Amino acid sequence: MTNPKTRRLFVLAHLWLAGFLAPAFLLVAISGGLYLLGNSGNFKTEDVTLPADASLNFESPTLDSDVRELLSTADIDQKFEYIRNRGTVIQLRPTSRPHLEFRQTDDGLTAIRKVPDFQGTLMELHKGHGPSWFKFYQKLVALGLIGVVFGGILVGFLAKAYRRQTSIAVVIGSLIFVFLAFFS
């Protein structure tokens, strides 16, 4: 399959997909790299005053509506899409933007507002804690990345002049990955 038209089509598809997904790839590379260098971002926190009788049962099947009712009753302006329940702590997500965290303590229910800085926002998006539509986009990006990788390899194999270099690069890259991931 060394037809120049077919190869050109694969090259164009590979370039368009890579270009379209480049911002998402950069988000992951920059936020992940900064995280590995010790900068995971920061959250500014502030206490949120709850009514004295405020309570939530974190095991309730109606927790979502209970939280919405508490926010409405306490006149707290906080929009959220879903809740992450960790037993004694619940987070109102997405956490890539200002959000609330509720804790069950010996003194009762407490709440804090957490506001991420730029790197904190990037990390929360990177970890999949962003808005639902962004999580859907990330799933598409993951599929796209697979396409970009295999498309690039395919393009390399379609050109006779690049087959050997493509094979060597794939084998060396695979060996380095396997060694570092499983034997180091």
Residue-wise pLDDT tens digits, 63-110: 999 999 999 999 999 999 999 999 999 999 999 999 999 999 888 899
pLDDT at residue 2, as a whole number:
65
C-alpha dist (Å) from residue 182 to 33, 146, 173, 175, 179: 21, 22, 14, 10, 6
Tell me the Cα Rg of the chain: 23
What pTM does this model have?
A: 0.83
What is the three-class DSSP state of 95?
Answer: coil
Q: Count CB neighbours of 82 within 10 A.
A: 12
Mean pLDDT of 38-43: 94
Q: What is the pLDDT of residues 107-166, one digit of tens each?
A: 889 999 999 999 999 999 999 999 999 999 999 999 999 999 998 898 888 888 899 999
Structure-token pair, residue 17? 């997909």
Cis status, amide bond into 98, omega within 30 of 0: no
Q: What is the pLDDT of residues 17-30, one digit of tens each?
A: 889 999 999 999 99
pLDDT at residue 13, as a whole number:
87
Q: Count CB neighbours of 31 within 10 A.
A: 23
Residue 8 has pLDDT above 80, yes or no: yes
Q: 102 burial class (0-12, 13-18, 19+ CB within 10 angstroms)?
A: buried
Q: Going by C-beta distance under 8 Å and a sequence separation of 6 or more, which residues neighbour residue 166?
A: 153, 156, 157
- Report CA torsion sign: 26, 32, 36, 40: positive
Contact by Cβ (8 Å): 92, 57: no
How far is Cα 127 from Cα 121, in angstroms, rounded to an integer?
10
Residue 1 has pLDDT above 60, yes or no: no
Helix segments in 3-78, DSSP class H: 4-36, 63-73
